Amino acid sequence: MNNNQIEQFKKMKTEVTRFMMMYQFALNELETKIEILKEEFQFLHDYNPIEHTKSRVKSLESIMKKIGRKGITFSLEDIKHNIKDIAGLRITCSFIADIYQIRDMLKNQFNLQINEMKDYIENPKPNGYRSLHLLVEVPVVMSDGRENVCVEIQIRTIAMDFWASLEHKIFYKYNQAVPSSLLLELKEASDSANKLDQQMERLNREITAIKENQEEDYGQELSQLLMNNQQFKLPASLMRFGNQTE
């Protein structure tokens, strides 16, 4: 290998390393924002809708396989524009309503640009998969400039995540056609998980309403007690007389 080839190899290695680091930095930026949300909810609202998060950057090997399947040329710019899930963040929530609340917070509070949204909760996939998918642009500042990096965010409930994780394990590396009877059972399992989500959300709403009514009743009782105490307050002249006799 001559000096020119060595220099080209070093340059390519640097560019690929920088390319991969951009996606890791974008995830770090997003995870910091999520941690801020979690702490705010915990300390100010006494409720944290985010159960846990998980992030990953695709390995270079996975990226190479994907560009091979898609017929993309080995150009970092082409890869950036054609593969949108190099960096991924999964947020698992308590309830379905939390999913859309977190989406709105990411968009409004943190000014993240949402380029694409796929709502597989309102419109599940045929096999029963449910989740909210967002493609967002995360600004990343590097030593040689600023880059907008695409990150795929998946937001789902615990039940949705349970179903999706086990479905992936069952069919991981299964390259043949799945029998229709198994597909039907998968769909039924997804429907059962969705019913559980709906039931738990209803229970949460009812408990929240009861707590709010109790707090309102307590506030009214306290106000009435304070008013009663004011009614039985001694006149100012008697208060002065009492102070003089001491």
pLDDT tens-digit profile of 154-194?
999 999 999 999 888 887 767 777 788 888 998 999 999 99
What is the extent of the structural domain holding 124?
3-159
8 A C-beta contact, residue 135 and residue 150: yes
This prediction has a pTM of 0.80
How confident is the model at residue 121, as a pLDDT? 97
Annotate 95-112 with b (16+ C-beta within 10 A) or e (fewer): bbebbeebbebbeeeeeb
137 is annotated as an active-site residue: no
Domain count of the chain? 1
Q: Give me the pLDDT at residue 25, please.
A: 95
Please report whether residue 181 resides in a domain.
no
- pLDDT given at position 229: 66
The answer to whether residue 190 sits within a structural domain is: no
Predicted confidence at residue 240, as pLDDT, reads 53
pLDDT given at position 164: 94
Is residue 151 a part of any domain in this protein? yes
Report residue 11: phi and psi, to 5°: -65, -45
Confidence of residue 233 (pLDDT cuts 50, 70, 90): low
| Inside any domain, residue 19 | yes
Strand locations in 120-190 (E): 132-142, 145-157
CATH number at residue 28: 3.30.460.10
How far is residue 102 from each of residues 12, 85, 168, 203, measured CA to CA in Å?
39, 20, 25, 21
Residue 183 inside a domain? The answer is no
Using a pLDDT cut of 70, give the percent of the chain over it. 86
Structure token digits, residue 207? 């408990």
- CA separation, residue 173 to residues 21, 48, 113, 167, 178 (Å): 29, 36, 35, 12, 12
> Does residue 203 lie in a domain region?
no
Residue 175 maps to a domain: no
- Residue pLDDT, tens place only, 59-113: 988 998 898 888 888 888 999 999 999 999 999 999 999 999 999 988 887 878 8
Higher pLDDT among residues 227 and 214, named by residue: 214
Of the two residues 153 and 13, the one the predictor is more confident about is: 153
197 or 12: whose pLDDT is higher?
197
Domain contains 166 = no
pLDDT tens column, 3-20: 776 777 788 888 889 999
Q: Determine the pLDDT at residue 241.
A: 47
Which residue shows structure tokens 């998946």?
A: 154
- Choosing from 51, 137, 152, 167, which is the catalytic residue? 152
Confidence at residue 246, expressed as pLDDT on a 0 to 100 scale: 47
Checking if the pLDDT of 2 tops 80, the result is no
